[in-house]
Structure 1
Amino acid sequence: MSKLNALHNDCYFDLRYNGVKFKNYVGVFQVDDLTIEILPKIDSQEKDKKLWHDVLISMLKVTKKLNVQKVGNANVSKQNLHLLDIYFDWFLDEVEKLIHLGLIKQYNRETGNVKALKGKLEFAGHLRKNLIHKERFYTTHQVYNKDHLIHQILGYALAIIENFSKGSSIYSRCKSVQLDFPEVKQVSIDHRTFSRLKLNRKTSAYKTALEIARFIILQYAPNIKHGQESMIALLFDMNSLWEEFILNRIKYSARKSEDHIEVYGQRSKRFWQNVTIRPDIVVRKNEKITIIDTKWKNIGSSKPSTQDLRQMFVYNEYWDSSESILLYPTPDQSNAPNFSSYKNIEHSCGIGKLNIINDGKLNLEVGNEIIDWIKDR
């Protein structure tokens, strides 16, 4: 765990004596057969583990980081099903669909000894390898088969799932998929490998499978080992997830609203030289602009930090906004923003507290509440 954290600039957690203090990342990571799930929480009630497990899955679904329909709601509702299992199930679904449709073949270059001269003769290799075997030719030639980069990526992801799902139902399903999957060469895969992929009309069906494979492979840490143990981590920055969720819900509510409301996310303006500033969400209703900055923490009765207030002041100035909102989650009833004006300045900043739980599940109508806050001003 220490090596994994160091590899990512110690952003996941702090290691303490006989303990771990997690930071603002949520998700799951597995070391050998030990699986640790980190859930988002804004209260201290231990009894709400399943609630926050479901909240995390729902947030990932809304922000398109997870397609729960591909896995099936019956599987997602199981309390003992980890986020890692959901991604594995989703990937296996996609690969099974590709096998059913028919896996594509591609031309690729192959270098080696053949019994007939074809392609380009590699003289140096031919002299080195075939000094005795005069009947062979060492050539580089094109072959048309299923052993190409796309299938090598999918095969690598299947091998990771096989390694991390032993002893579960996913393991037997993975082995079954591997039997129907063609044998491909084992290659080294990193983020540069995915940048070389160019999908076309023929390979467009592979898009979703490759996106999940990218997520699984790049989070796999085969170089971090203790003995024979390897590690995989699927972790999300909760601040970013909270921001994307709120942006998605406000956009959804704005589209249904009869008022003309425009919603933008992460719009940049130059601040100083090449430095830019970007508020999380900008809402425009007619000529009125409201800036929203999301913070995933239970602020309670505390005041926002001076740095946050200064940040909102700058946003108001640069976007000609009359008001801005610091938006926090709360385990209690939602509270509309309580605005306070900056001294001798026309614009103001409010603290909004939003309860995202309704009837024991994630409240998908929070966008309506925020739109109502803005319309009532």
Structure 2
Amino acid sequence: MRQLTAYEHGWLEVGEGRDLASHEAEALAAAEGILPPGCLQWGHRRVKFTQFCGVVQVDGLQVEVLPKLTPYQTEAQQRDTLLTMLACAGDLEGVERLGAGLATSRTNLLDLFIRHFAHLLERQLQQGLLRDYRDIDDTLDQVRGRIDLVRQQRENLFKPQRLACRYSELVADIPVNRLLHSALRLVISLATSPLLAQQLHALRMRFGEVGTLAPHERGPTAEQLNRMQSRYAPLVALAHLFLDGQFLDARSGRQQAFSLLFDMNRLFERYTASRLRPLARRQGLKLIEQGPRRHLGHEESGRGRLLMRPDISLLNESRRPVVILDTKWKRIEGPDPLAALSATDLYQLTAYATAYRCLSVVLLYPEQAHLRAGQRHAMTLAGSGARLALAAIPVDGTAPEIVFSESLVAAHV
């Protein structure tokens, strides 16, 4: 398996002796159907991943796509940034503890994700394999459970020594275990580390009495687990991430490609919300994501037009937005962050300030070379009189110290 490291928005040249061989580019194009829409951008004999980071595996090639915020960061630091954000956002619970130390080595992202899955699974199996009761119909020599009179008359009318019984038995072959077994079987084929593959095979031995999901069967989601199974929620969510990343059907032996990619725009938004929520609570404010929803205008009939959904809003006790934050996962080119503002961003924040009557709006970027955490740049928006602030939040998991007020946002890191 050839391994290649790429960066978001970084071009990969196609051709002999270049980043991608022609057949590898063709395999990547063929697998584009399983990738998020707009994930790939093609040029003349070149291709790049847009705002998506993670892993794609096609035709003997594994591409690791890392975030690229600052040019001086190493691959290991960018890998660690992605793991930290995933852990804080809740996508991969506890992965930052497992990734510490491993991310600085040559361990690739896919093996890290698989190792995390194995770690969570092993920890849960220490408490025993999940079991549940299942109704079983059987014909026995003695009564077990209760006699099914309808079956008894239909099947054993002239065999009184045989009894049609229905009873409940505690079994391990249940949907959640079949889901985990299917994911385990898949990741065994994806792991590149022999030691990791050996660990996975040992775990699979624990599922000897458990089947796998049938083709096109999805299995339970984390929200569908009962109270006794709820401790498996992170594992189930991760199992779905792996199984949903397949191209064709890996369980029938026809796997051709695999992807585990994360939209960095959405990931940065969830990461930011997770870091700011405790600070907002201490200020007596309620943080909500993707809201409150409001239309920018209404027709004469009352029908709303252009539904607005701010990335993050901070509400006071009256449920009125006092701070609206728009997260921007992008690099700022040049030493003046305000000069890098696009007209679209200014129009959007002005619309928020006016429609929500909010006097404080914020563009929040990841910390980078030209916008350090602790720096603050502000301007007044014409018409609304609101203050627009540019601030940065660290992406290494450290807590930002941001003070919220109804008229201003001051950032201190």
TM tier relative to shorter chain: 0.7 to 0.9
Q: CA RMSD in A?
A: 3.9
Match of 2:293 among 266, 269, 274: 269
What's 2:351 paired with?
A: 314
- Deviation track 1:118-151 (CA, whole Å, cap 9, x = no partner) reads 9786xxxx9xxxxxxxxx9xx9997642222111
Structure 2 unpaired stretches of 5+: 1-27, 156-161
**Do residues 294 (structure 1) and 327 (structure 2) align?**
yes
Match of 2:362 among 325, 343, 352: 325
Preserved CA contact (<8 Å) 2:353 2:384: no
Preserved CA contact (<8 Å) 2:83 2:96: no
| Structure 1 residue 78: Cα displacement | 3.6
**Do residues 150 (structure 1) and 176 (structure 2) align?**
yes
**Do residues 4 (structure 1) and 31 (structure 2) align?**
yes
Q: TM-score, normalised by structure 2?
A: 0.72
Cα distance in 2 for partners of 1:371, 1:83 equals 37
What's 1:57 paired with?
A: 83
Q: Which moved more, 1:209-218 or 1:279-288?
A: 279-288
Cα distance in 1 for partners of 2:132, 2:379 equals 61
Cα distance in 2 for partners of 1:29, 1:70 equals 21
Q: Kindly tell me: are residues 114 and 11 of structure 1, through their superposed partners in 2, closer, same or farther at Cα, counting changes over 3 Å?
A: farther
Q: How does 1:8-27 map to 2 (within 5 A)?
A: 8=35, 10-27=37-54
Cα distance in 2 for partners of 1:244, 1:176 equals 35
Q: How does 1:183-202 map to 2 (within 5 A)?
A: 183-188=209-214, 193-194=219-220, 198-202=224-228
Preserved CA contact (<8 Å) 2:85 2:397: no
Secondary structure of 2:176 counterpart? helix
Q: Kindly tell me: are residues 336 and 165 of structure 1, through their superposed partners in 2, closer, same or farther at Cα, counting changes over 3 Å?
A: same
| Structure 1 residue 49: Cα displacement | 1.9
Cα distance in 1 for partners of 2:185, 2:377 equals 50
What's 2:207 paired with?
A: 181
Preserved CA contact (<8 Å) 2:55 2:62: yes
| Structure 1 residue 103: Cα displacement | 1.7
Secondary structure of 1:220 counterpart? coil
Q: Which moved more, 1:237-246 or 1:285-294?
A: 285-294
Cα distance in 1 for partners of 2:342, 2:217 equals 37
Match of 1:169 among 183, 195, 200: 195
| Structure 1 residue 171: Cα displacement | 0.4
Secondary structure of 1:193 counterpart? coil
| Structure 1 residue 346: Cα displacement | 2.7
Higher helix share: 1
What's 1:374 paired with?
A: 409
Cα distance in 2 for partners of 1:310, 1:159 equals 50
Cα distance in 2 for partners of 1:72, 1:7 equals 28
What's 1:364 paired with?
A: 398
- Deviation track 1:280-320 (CA, whole Å, cap 9, x = no partner) reads 12235788812111111123344433332222222112221
Q: Kindly tell me: are residues 165 and 109 of structure 1, through their superposed partners in 2, closer, same or farther at Cα, counting changes over 3 Å?
A: farther
Counterpart of 2:359 in structure 1: which amino acid? S
Counterpart of 1:364 in structure 2: which amino acid? T
Match of 2:107 among 81, 85, 91: 81
Cα distance in 2 for partners of 1:74, 1:356 equals 18
What's 2:62 paired with?
A: 35
| Structure 1 residue 251: Cα displacement | 1.9
| Structure 1 residue 340: Cα displacement | 3.2
Q: Kindly tell me: are residues 31 and 168 of structure 1, through their superposed partners in 2, closer, same or farther at Cα, counting changes over 3 Å?
A: farther
What's 1:339 paired with?
A: 379
- Deviation track 1:176-215 (CA, whole Å, cap 9, x = no partner) reads 1111222333333658533597422332332232122122
Count residues in correspondence.
355
Cα distance in 2 for partners of 1:70, 1:304 equals 33
Q: How does 1:227-306 map to 2 (within 5 A)?
A: 230-256=256-282, 259-271=283-295, 273=303, 276-284=307-315, 289-301=322-334, 302-306=339-343
Q: Kindly tell me: are residues 233 and 288 of structure 1, through their superposed partners in 2, closer, same or farther at Cα, counting changes over 3 Å?
A: closer
What's 1:354 paired with?
A: 392
Counterpart of 1:84 in structure 2: which amino acid? L
Cα distance in 2 for partners of 1:244, 1:20 equals 28
Preserved CA contact (<8 Å) 1:333 1:355: no
Preserved CA contact (<8 Å) 2:286 2:315: yes
Secondary structure of 1:232 counterpart? strand
Cα distance in 2 for partners of 1:208, 1:215 equals 11
- Deviation track 1:55-81 (CA, whole Å, cap 9, x = no partner) reads 111111211222336863555344322
Counterpart of 1:64 in structure 2: which amino acid? G
Secondary structure of 2:247 counterpart? strand
Cα distance in 2 for partners of 1:30, 1:12 equals 14
Relative contact order higher in (CA < 8 Å, ≥ 6 apart): 1
